[in-house]
């Protein structure tokens, strides 16, 4: 434990700087996957990380996180831009637009 370094930052450093297979469960992850009903909005960091680590191969964690970031920046913003989103048909938020 390092003062001021939380789980998300630590996992990002481990994944991207040190090449360790740690899934980064950030705000983008929470937003996208709570909107499609895969995790609850109030899931803890450990719960979200555990869900993905149980259901995804470790060698894809970095690539998956990059996809999540891209999807969140393009479509799944705080104010969503659902037009053209590949998850629109399975997303509770997307179904409203």
Q: Do the domain assignments include residue 71?
A: yes
Q: Do the domain assignments include residue 55?
A: yes
Q: Do the domain assignments include residue 13?
A: yes
Nearest-Å Rg of the Cα atoms of the chain is 14
What is 51-93 written as a DSSP string? HHHHHS-GGGHHHHHHHHHHHHHHT-SSS---TT-TTGGG-HH
CA angle, corner 8, sides to 91 and 1, nearest 5?
Answer: 155
pLDDT in tens, 2-60: 888 999 999 999 999 999 999 999 999 999 999 999 999 899 999 999 999 999 999 99
Domain containing 58: what range? 7-95
pLDDT in tens, 52-68: 999 999 999 999 999 99
The pLDDT score that the predictor gives to residue 97 is 77
Q: Do the domain assignments include residue 2?
A: no
Structural domain count of the chain: 1
Q: Do the domain assignments include residue 81?
A: yes
Q: What CATH number corresponds to the domain at position 69?
A: 1.10.1670.10
């Amino acid at each position: 434990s390092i003062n001021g370094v939380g789980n998300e930052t630590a996992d990002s450093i481990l994944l991207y700087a040190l090449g360790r297979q740690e899934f980064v469960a950030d705000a983008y992850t929470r937003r996208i996957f709570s909107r499609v009903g895969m995790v609850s909005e109030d899931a803890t960091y450990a719960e979200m990380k555990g869900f993905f680590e149980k259901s995804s191969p470790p060698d894809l964690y970095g690539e998956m996180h990059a996809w999540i970031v891209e999807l969140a920046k393009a479509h799944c913003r705080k104010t969503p831009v659902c037009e053209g989103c590949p998850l629109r048909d399975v997303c509770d938020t997307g179904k409203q637009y």
